[in-house]
Amino acid sequence: MSDDYSNKMTVLLVATIASFLTPFMASSVNVALPVIAEELAANALMLSWITTSFLLASAMLSVPFGRIADIYGTKRIFILGIIIFTIATLLASLSPSVEFLIFARVLQGVGSAAIFVTSLAIITHAFPPGEVGKAIGLSGSALFIGLVMGPVLGGLLTQYPGWRSIFYLIVPFGALATALVIIKLRGSEWAECKGEKLDIWGSILYAVSLLLVLTGFSAITSLIGQIMLVLGIGGIIGFVAWELRIEHPVLEMRLFFENRMFAFSNLASLINFTGTFAVVFLLSLYLQYIKGFDPRGAGLILATQTLFMAIISPIAGRLSDKYPSRILASIGMAIVTAGLIIFAFLSAETSIYLILFSLVLLGIGSAIFSAPNIHAVMNSVKRRYFGVASATISTMRIIGQTLSMGMVLVIFSVYVGAVEFNPGNYPALLQSINVAFTISALLGFVAIFASLARS
């Protein structure tokens, strides 16, 4: 076996483990939220922040970590990320309060940002152009397997050993990924921009502006939230202007203005995740509070979507090596939108079979959209921008996910308020879910046209 082949297989295995960890954590914790709320006395808004805090930290640091990886080494930043993520997971398992759990989730978000911006980059560096789509598809399949196993194992672990065991389970995986990189890829490192300067001020401006936008959006019903949102938007405009005029920007903004494929592929991804990420969170509450399922039953139902994502993703990755990503991704987004339309009409009497059918549509559509879309982004830039492109993909995903949860926070604050869920406010919860899925379906239509616009 050649060293090149061994390195490729190690890179794929490590990237696959990394792709599994954070989606598993996110989807398993979503199933556990009602139990966490009861044990830690968390109200509806605090419960949402357990998910949102993780996403917010990831979004703020993805772009800076992408640039840091290009300058100082992709492998080095990956190892740093996996170590932070593993330690934060252990801390989360020991949480004495909801505030401490949210703090641990922020640290998990920091580690996740470093992991995700480097895992795609090391795949693209290690594999030749004709094999990249296949490798991305396999890595994406692991991501979806994490999403599949999250609700199933999360439900079982929550119901029996308890929700803390979800976090215990992740720690050995983090240690394994770290050991593989250090031992098997000892001589490998990728730093396409070695010696260039890091744009520290741009990194700070980006992180602070994004924090203001996403936090402001989640509190948009209050005056302070509206002020934060306006300041954040102003900061992002300033960030774009700053990045266009310096020699070594943290994010190469010219790619968005000069590279149509890059720009619209990222836009489609942003809209897709904004419309779809909150699905598992909302359905977990719907199935347990409205339909009366226990965590195990809810987890098994939610696994339907991600099971089909895991099955279809490798196929979609291979297809993206042969057929236009624009067509494949647009078809996938249209299927996703059909599933979201069905969920917009959920009621207490909705058949479980209709829910399962909609989850199948979401799973198939998401897989057909995701792998070709990622391939399109990575294939549209030069090697020196692989870290930036990987970071941009990750950032679009995380910003979309954060906006999705921000949308839920706004809707909950309007219809439910900062109270713990009880049978008296279940009608308000159901109304919130209907409104959220209606907005998601509308976003799905917009994502279809964004996907078709690249050429």
- Residue 3: what pLDDT? 58
CA distance 211 to 225: 11
In terms of average pLDDT, the best of 34-43, 221-230, 232-241, 412-421 is: 232-241
Of 253 and 129, which is predicted with more confidence? Answer: 253
What mean pLDDT do residues 426-430 have?
86
Determine what percent of the chain is predicted with pLDDT higher than 70: 91
- Residue 234: what pLDDT? 94
Where along the chain do its domains lie?
3-198+248-453, 199-247
pLDDT at residue 340 greater than cutoff 90: yes
The encoded tokens of residue 362 equal 């979401």
What mean pLDDT do residues 225-251 have?
87
Confidence of residue 376 (pLDDT cuts 50, 70, 90): confident
**pTM of full prediction above 0.85:** no
Range in 184-188, 270-274, 397-401 the model is least confident about: 184-188
- Residue 143: what pLDDT? 73
pLDDT at residue 245 greater than cutoff 80: yes
What mean pLDDT do residues 441-447 have?
92
pLDDT at residue 154 greater than cutoff 80: yes
- Residue 305: what pLDDT? 83
What mean pLDDT do residues 12-24 have?
80
- Residue 269: what pLDDT? 87
Confidence of residue 189 (pLDDT cuts 50, 70, 90): low
Range in 25-39, 120-134, 336-350 the model is least confident about: 120-134
What mean pLDDT do residues 16-23 have?
80
Of 262 and 133, which is predicted with more confidence? Answer: 262
pLDDT at residue 2 greater than cutoff 70: no
* Sequence-ordered list of residues with C-beta below 8 angstroms from that of 19, at least 6 positions apart, any chain: 119, 139, 140, 142, 143, 146
- Residue 118: what pLDDT? 80
pLDDT at residue 185 greater than cutoff 70: no
pLDDT at residue 37 greater than cutoff 80: yes
CA distance 395 to 401: 10
- Residue 353: what pLDDT? 93
196-205 pLDDT per residue, tens? 778 888 889 9
- Residue 1: what pLDDT? 45
pLDDT at residue 424 greater than cutoff 80: no
pLDDT at residue 366 greater than cutoff 80: yes
**Contact status, residue 429 vs residue 291, Cβ threshold 8 Å:** no
pLDDT at residue 220 greater than cutoff 80: no
pLDDT at residue 360 greater than cutoff 90: yes
- Residue 5: what pLDDT? 62
- Residue 161: what pLDDT? 85
What mean pLDDT do residues 57-76 have?
82
Going 139 to 361 to 446 to 146, the CA torsion angle's sign is: negative
Q: Which of 179, 121, 405 is nearest to 282 (CA)?
A: 405
What is the overall mean pLDDT for the chain? 82
Confidence of residue 144 (pLDDT cuts 50, 70, 90): low
Q: How far is CA 412 from the centre of its chain?
A: 21
| The three-state (H, E, C) secondary structure of the chain, written as one string | CCHHHHHHHHHHHHHHHHHHHHHHHHHHHHHHHHHHHHHHCCCHHHHHHHHHHHHHHHHHHHHHHHHHHHHHCHHHHHHHHHHHHHHHHHHHHCCCCHHHHHHHHHHHHHHHHHHHHHHHHHHHHHCCHHHHHHHHHHHHHHHHHHHHHHHHHHHHHHHCCCCHHHHHHHHHHHHHHHHHHHHHCCCCCCCCCCCCCCCHHHHHHHHHHHHHHHHHHHCCCCHHHHHHHHHHHHHHHHHHHHHHHCCCCCCCCHHHHHCHHHHHHHHHHHHHHHHHCHHHHHHHHHHHHHCCCCHHHHHHHHHHHHHHHHHHHHHHHHHHCCCCHHHHHHHHHHHHHHHHHHHCCCCCCCCHHHHHHHHHHHHHHHHHHHHHHHHHHHHCCCHHHHHHHHHHHHHHHHHHHHHHHHHHHHHHHHHCCCCCCCHHHHHHHHHHHHHHHHHHHHHHHHHHHHHHHCC
Range in 90-94, 309-313, 421-425 the model is least confident about: 421-425
Name the region of 417 (left: φ>0; alpha: ψ -120 to 50; beta: rest): left
At the topology level, CATH places domain 3-198+248-453 in Growth Hormone; Chain: A; (1.20.1250)
Of 291 and 74, which is predicted with more confidence? Answer: 291
| The three-state (H, E, C) secondary structure of 411-427, written as one string | HHHHHCCCCCCCHHHHH
